[in-house]
Amino acid sequence: MFRLRRSLESKEGRNIGPVPPWVLEVFAGLRTAGYQAYLVGGCVRDRLLGREPKDWDIATNARPDEVQRLFERTAPTGLKYGTVTVLAPPGVKPPRVEVTTFRRDIGTEDQRHPATVEYGDNIEEDLARRDFTINAMAWNPQEGQIVDPWGGHADLKRRIVRAVGEPRQRFREDALRMLRAVRLAAELGFRLEGRTRAAIRKQAADVDRLSRERVRDELLRILASPDPQWALWELEDLQMLFRILPELRPARNFPQGKPGVPTLLDHLIRTAQYCPPDPVLRLAGLLHDVAKPATVQLTGEGVHFHGHEVKGAEMAAGAARRLRLSRAQVERIESLVRMHMFQAATVTRKGLRRWLGEHGQEWVRQLIALRRADNRASGLPADQPDPWLDRLEDELEEVLHEGAVLRVQDLALRGREVMEILGVPAGPQVGAALRFLHERVLEDPSLNTREKLAALLAEYARGLPGATG
Ligand code: ATP
Ligand code: MG
């Protein structure tokens, strides 16, 4: 009987797949020192799903100071929460393992209500304070035994996200779990369990109290997931979407009038879905037409949205700033939304070079990707060729290939030389001359030599008011 049980457990253990040797070393280090230790949380979940874990977590009854003493290289990343990062020797993967002392209660992690951490003695208590059943499993790789008091393995097979314990209470403790539920489901292609879902809908208003940084992290992960479309509609249905992005509320019932795309919100969510999985690009996609309801005009010739891209850029940047995106991310979203109405047929090589100089190559690719997503989200078939966008992409490759000078600071003449040739002191005249040269070089990159630029500059000086020559 005993033998049979052991063999079943080790079979289950083998199913979890290989654990990196260095993670096993940390585990064995704790065990040899007489402590309990388990792999826990996301890595167990991912391994059982046959996915590569993002990071490896170990739970133990050793206290943080004991963990620090046990291993040579550690970092006190989350001492407040009982977490010590154990660092691998250089070059070894994974580079770190998080070792966390068993806890009784996670409390609320919101910065405004710092959690009081109470250490626990056993893994069961530790699992009970975790958020979802599929995140509340532990695994002992030595014995090949899974500790799964909440039925996480069964929920993995049913592909559902279910709160550990009483959902309403768990979401009251930490409202971020409501967003984590949707994010986790979007990443894994799971659905929310019924009672968990109902509890979120009841308590959705609590997301207003979360720190914006925590909301941002979950929203960006939702957007980067394979299924943002499902997740965004789920957020809408659960009454959370417009709390996070109130700018989208007017789109909810704003008619789009395209086959299969009844409302503007349908169009925006689809655009996000059809963008490549870069979360910032997808946020730009989600917000690109956000100002249509605010700019709509009905004239004799039909419906117009004059300036919606300008107003929309402002609104999108405001949303991104509120969500504490970085300055570079805010600028990216702002410029993509502002430029999303570009006419591919009218973009010249000079225009392309200017874009490359101002925004860089990734931006240009994203702008084109946004347009393709926008078209598809308006009901065009995914495989419908767009000759103008195709031409633009070809020209982009060619322009990149010519290695042209794209920015003022890359001109073959520097400001100092311009001052000498023109015989003027430092000042606005120098900038104006450099901009003149830049324009000419954008038109014809072969002009970017010292001799040719100097000649151009002499010509330019003769045209200046007050020129004597
Ligand atoms: P991934 O690393 O892929 O994002 P993960 O499940 O490891 O997934 P983490 O944020 O690294 O997610 O958290 C590690 C574990 O800590 C989770 O699996 C879960 O058990 C627990 N956990 C994290 N955040 C919370 C929370 N807000 N409430 C309760 N438990 C949590
Ligand atoms: Mg993790």
- pLDDT score of 389 more than 90: yes
Q: What is the DSSP string of 44-100?
A: HHHHHTTPPPSSEEEEESS-HHHHHHHSSSEEEEEGGGTEEEEEPPTT-SSSEEEEE
pLDDT 10s digits, 75-128: 998 888 899 999 999 999 999 999 999 998 755 555 445 456 789 999 999 999
Helix (H) / strand (E) containing 4:
helix 2-15
pLDDT 10s digits, 200-253: 999 999 999 999 999 999 999 999 999 999 999 999 999 999 999 999 999 999
| Any atom of ligand 1 within 6 Å of the Cβ of 130 | yes
**pLDDT grade, residue 361 (50/70/90)?**
very high
- pLDDT score of 3 more than 50: no
| pTM of structure | 0.90
Given a contact cutoff of 8 angstroms between Cβ atoms, the answer to whether 313 and 330 are in contact is no
Given a contact cutoff of 8 angstroms between Cβ atoms, the answer to whether 330 and 320 are in contact is yes
* pLDDT score at 78: 85
| Any atom of ligand 1 within 6 Å of the Cβ of 416 | no
* pLDDT score at 51: 92
* pLDDT score at 13: 45
Pocket-testing residue among 105, 131, 148, ligand 1, by greatest number of atoms within 8 A of Cβ = 131
Alpha-carbon torsion angle 156, 47, 141, 137, nearest 10? -30
Backbone torsions φ then ψ of 350, nearest 5 degrees: -60, -45
- Measured from the alpha carbon of residue 41, the closest ligand is 1
* pLDDT score at 6: 38
**pLDDT grade, residue 15 (50/70/90)?**
low
Out of 1.20.120.10, 3.40.30.120, 1.10.110.30, 1.10.1740.10, select the CATH number for domain 159-244: 1.10.110.30
* pLDDT score at 107: 55
Alpha-carbon torsion angle 420, 425, 427, 432, nearest 10? -30
- pLDDT score of 468 more than 90: no
Q: Name the closest-CA residue to atom 26, ligand 1.
A: 131
pLDDT 10s digits, 411-461: 999 989 999 988 899 999 999 999 999 999 999 999 999 999 999 998 898
| Any atom of ligand 1 within 6 Å of the Cβ of 164 | no
| Any atom of ligand 1 within 6 Å of the Cβ of 55 | yes
Q: What does the buried/exposed string (b/e) look like for 42-65 if buried means 16 or more CB atoms within 10 Å of the residue's CB?
A: bbbbbbbbeeebeebbbbbbbebe
The CATH superfamily label for domain 1-158 reads Beta Polymerase, domain 2 (3.30.460.10)
Give the number of the atom of ligand 1 that is nearest the alpha carbon of residue 176.
Answer: 27
Residue 358 identity (one-letter amino acid):
E
- pLDDT score of 384 more than 70: yes
* Residue boundaries of the structural domains of the chain: 1-158, 159-244, 274-394, 408-462
Give the Cβ contact number of residue 242 at 10 Å: 17
Query: What is the Cα 153 distance to its own chain's centre?
Result: 28
DSSP-derived letter for residue 466 is: T
Of 312, 333, 335, which Cα lies nearest the Cα of 324?
333
pLDDT 10s digits, 305-325: 999 999 999 999 999 999 999
* pLDDT score at 281: 98
Q: How far is Cα 81 from Cα 96, in angstroms, rounded to an integer?
A: 17
| Any atom of ligand 1 within 6 Å of the Cβ of 174 | yes
